[in-house]
Amino acid sequence: MRVGVFFHEELRGRDWPIIGNKFAGFPEAMKEAVKLPNVRLYKPKPVSEELLLKVHSPSLLERVKDAWYYHGARLSVGGCVEAAERIMRGEIDAALVFNVAAGHHAGPDSAWGGTYLSCTGPAIVNLREKFGPGRFAILDTDRHHGDGCRAIFMGDRDVLHVCFCDRSLVEDGGTKVDVDVGWSTTDGAYLELVMREFVPRVEEFKPKLIFHFLGHDTCQGDYGDLGLTMQFFPRLVQLVKTCAERVCQGRYLIITGGGYRRDVAEYIFPRIIEILAG
């Protein structure tokens, strides 16, 4: 698999909302992984305001533009948009996009919880503009419910959104699903839940690409501690990668989500790149 890693130096060195400076050790922490022959490091450009306005209201954008973290969020969304486009062009098969200040709590007109711009919204709008209509799947394994992402795609039955959080719900004709993972779990039980609740749905849905909002706030000792170990996250990626190979020719795009533990980030992301490249 050819893998793109999207990282900008401006994503480190600042105390980003909720996640802090967890990328302080990057890109050095992944220097061996990005040397693999089929891995390429990309420096993302900021997403255009024009594309953001196809997902967010002008008033939300005005509010976010005034915040100090706006540029970091724009670079993160820009990485996601570019990664998705390069995957659909066939230049790469899979991607890992480093993200600060953007993600699943950003909806059309409201945003909170450390994520102030949508990553998947602009990426999917851009793909449809360039490649025509298409179905996409979004897997969310951050600790928290992806309310903003859900609001953006509610009513769009060509987007499957399966969110592992703290409630059980199936809506929008079965294309929007919440899976309650409980207050504490184990690596094995969580992986089984993904096998049971995500894999059959995405196999039936047949998307062109799987997006994965991968929070590690679920790790032991982090702010969304579910009892998972660091070893869980590479195993989860292996599972979803195998699924993507069956479902959509391996097209798989991971966006980093919640979690503030720097040691966890430095452990899991190099391993995740190696798994994607393997």
Cα four-point dihedral sign 157, 237, 25, 164: positive
145 binds Zn ion (CB under 5 A): yes
Neighbours of 91 (CB within 10 A): 11
Cis peptide before 27 (omega within 30 of 0): yes
81 binds Zn ion (CB under 5 A): no
142 binds Zn ion (CB under 5 A): yes
Q: Which is nearer to Zn ion, 169 or 195 (CB)?
A: 169
Q: Which is nearer to Zn ion, 26 or 213 (CB)?
A: 213
Element (H or E) spanning 151, and its range?
A: helix 147-153
Q: Which is nearer to Zn ion, 22 or 144 (CB)?
A: 144
CA distance 41 to 35: 9
CA-to-CA dists, residue 99 to 74, 135, 199, 214, angstroms: 9, 23, 25, 10
One of 258, 271, 273, 277 touching Zn ion (CB under 5 A):
258
One of 124, 165, 264, 276 touching Zn ion (CB under 5 A):
165
Number of helical (H) and strand (E) elements in the chain, helices listed first? 9, 9
Smallest distance from Zn ion to CB 56, Å: 20
One of 27, 79, 122, 215 touching Zn ion (CB under 5 A):
215
Query: Using CB under 5 A, which of the segments 5-13, 39-47, 186-194, 252-260 binds Zn ion?
Result: 252-260
For the chain, state the CA radius of gyration: 17
149 binds Zn ion (CB under 5 A): no
Smallest distance from Zn ion to CB 167, Å: 6
Instruction: Let me know: does 4 contact 86? Beta carbons within 8 Å.
Output: yes
179 binds Zn ion (CB under 5 A): no
Q: Which is nearer to Zn ion, 93 or 178 (CB)?
A: 178
Q: Which residues bind Zn ion (CB under 5 A)?
A: 142-145, 163, 165, 178, 215, 217, 258
